[in-house]
Amino acid sequence: MESLHINATDRAGKYAGLIPQLKALLEGESDLIANMANTAAALHQTFGFHWIGFYLVKGNELVLGPFQGPVACTRIPFGKGVCGTAWKEAKTQLVPDVELFPGHIACSALSRSEIVVPLFMEGEVIAVLDIDSSLPDDFSETDRKQLEEVAAILSRVSVQST
């Protein structure tokens, strides 16, 4: 697969077009980092969010992994910011206004809203998918549901290689 073909203009339609293509793109590749890189690129190509990427659990912190967008924070402590909270609570964090999130870590002044989805292997959080938008209140329950499916796909096809 060299390119994605997404014909929808609404967000739900874009996810409906993306998910089967993402499954096909990742199928047969077991390397987690390679799959994260292609997932970040596919999400960025489809939605054009300000920043899309992954942080991997390494010891007591999250370490920057594959991403699309401007340079980013490299390390995030357990329980800190939106990403660290998603890891600590092992659940998706949907933040309509990052400035109102206690302890938000501002990697970019352009980020206004954020969604962070944990990735699980064998019941443990191994990474988080972090997406920042330059628009306030840009994420919905549709995004939560569909991005949790993306995370589940990654977990099913990948083996932790780090």
Examine residue 2 and state whether it is found in any structural domain, yes or no. Answer: no
Examine residue 20 and state whether it is found in any structural domain, yes or no. Answer: yes
Q: Please list, in sequence order, all residues whose beta carbon lies within 8 angstroms of the beta carbon of residue 125, skipping any fewer than 6 positions away.
A: 57, 86, 87, 90, 118, 119
pLDDT band of residue 157 (cuts 50, 70, 90) is confident
Examine residue 162 and state whether it is found in any structural domain, yes or no. Answer: no
Judged against a pLDDT cut of 50, whether residue 162 lies above it is answered with no
Q: How far apart are CA 69 and CA 88, in angstroms?
A: 25
pLDDT confidence of residue 108: 76
Examine residue 36 and state whether it is found in any structural domain, yes or no. Answer: yes
**pLDDT tens digit string along 111-155?**
899 999 999 999 999 999 999 999 999 999 999 999 999 999 999
**In the block, residue with structure tokens 């699980």:** 120
Q: How far apart are CA 86 and CA 78, in angstroms?
A: 9
Taking a C-beta distance cutoff of 8 angstroms, is the pair 65, 31 a contact? no
What is the residue range of 78's domain?
11-157
- Residue 83 sits at the vertex; the CA angle it makes with 134 and 43, to the nearest 5 degrees, is 50
- Residue 92 sits at the vertex; the CA angle it makes with 86 and 97, to the nearest 5 degrees, is 85
Q: Name the more confident of 50 and 106.
A: 50
Examine residue 3 and state whether it is found in any structural domain, yes or no. Answer: no
**Overall average pLDDT of the 1-10 stretch:** 82
**pLDDT tens digit string along 59-105?**
999 999 999 999 999 999 999 999 999 999 999 999 999 988 887 77
Q: How far apart are CA 115 and CA 93, in angstroms?
A: 6
Judged against a pLDDT cut of 90, whether residue 32 lies above it is answered with yes
Q: How far apart are CA 3 and CA 114, in angstroms?
A: 26
Q: How many domains are contained in the chain?
A: 1
Examine residue 109 and state whether it is found in any structural domain, yes or no. Answer: yes
Examine residue 4 and state whether it is found in any structural domain, yes or no. Answer: no
Query: Would the pTM count as exceeding 0.75?
Result: yes
Q: How far apart are CA 144 and CA 5, in angstroms?
A: 22
Examine residue 47 and state whether it is found in any structural domain, yes or no. Answer: yes
CATH number of 36's domain: 3.30.450.40
Burial of 11 per CB tally in 10 Å (0-12, 13-18, 19+): middle
